[in-house]
Amino acid sequence: MDGQDSNTVISSDSELRRNFGEPMELAIQKQLGKLDVHCKNFISRSPFLCIGTSAADGKADVSPRGDPPGFVQILDDNTIFIPDRPGNNRLDTMSNIVANPNVGIFFIIPGIEDTLRVNGKASIVKDKEILERCAVNRKVPSMGIMVEVNEAFLHCAKAVRRSKLWKPESLQDPTEMPTLAQMILEQVATPDKPPTKEEIKEGDEFIEDNYKTGLY
């Protein structure tokens, strides 16, 4: 941030540690070098994950992946496979992996407050045998993300509890938000030519049709 007072910016790990202290021993010990039975069980139940990547120049990205529970294939104690599904063809995640294989993955299970973090090195692969296991509605993905796991650890529920993420009263009314089509059309419009109601309606219909026909 321009004009930021240098005295308010933490610029070294030692300075950071002076503010927080050392982690508990158990917080260090829980970091595993492979997937144990509990990590595998968590992954097999998770229908949703976020994968963090970065480009060769350091530009970072986090993207979601979701499918029925068990969609991530556990190949062995140190290898998982995430099938690719149709999207917007930006290819942010996969382009980054080609340039920089380091990834961080965050697994979530609806209703479960604990989460799982997995870090490793990824590659983009087209293994027919593995891809066929990932078919949904008889549609086989064209490729996927293979991850060589080098770190895995469970994460406590504090953030989820603070956010009340899974509490029914935390669910927000979608009608209080603009639709995705409206937000995007307004973002790309010029100030003198905002989107019309008809354009927004057409955008809503296009997106909904794409959800119905283009998930797989």
Q: Dump pLDDT digits (tens) for 50-88.
A: 999 999 999 999 999 999 999 999 999 999 999 999 999
Q: Which residues pair with 80 in a beta bridge?
A: 74, 147
Q: In this predicted model, what pLDDT tens digit does every residue of 84-103 receive, in sequence order?
A: 999 999 999 999 999 999 99
173: exposed, middle or buried (C-beta count within 10 Å: 0-12, 13-18, 19+)?
exposed
Q: Average pLDDT, stretch 125-140?
A: 95
| pLDDT on residue 21 | 82
Per-residue pLDDT, 7: 75
Q: 1 pLDDT band (50/70/90 cuts)?
A: low
| 181 vs 84: CA distance, rounded Å | 24
Lowest mean pLDDT among 11-15, 66-70, 204-208: 11-15
Average pLDDT over residues 122-147: 96
For the CA atoms of 101, 106, 109, 111, the dihedral, rounded to the nearest 10 degrees, stands at -170
Quick one: tokens of 156? 């406590």
The whole-number pLDDT of residue 191 equals 94
Domains of the chain with bracketed CATH: 21-163 (2.30.110.10), 172-214 (no CATH)
Cα 187 from Cα 207, distance rounded (Å): 16
Q: Render pLDDT for 16-26 as a digit per residue (tens, 0 to 9).
A: 888 998 888 99
Predicted TM-score of the model (pTM): 0.93
pLDDT band, residue 8 (cuts 50/70/90)? confident
Mean pLDDT computed over 149-154: 98
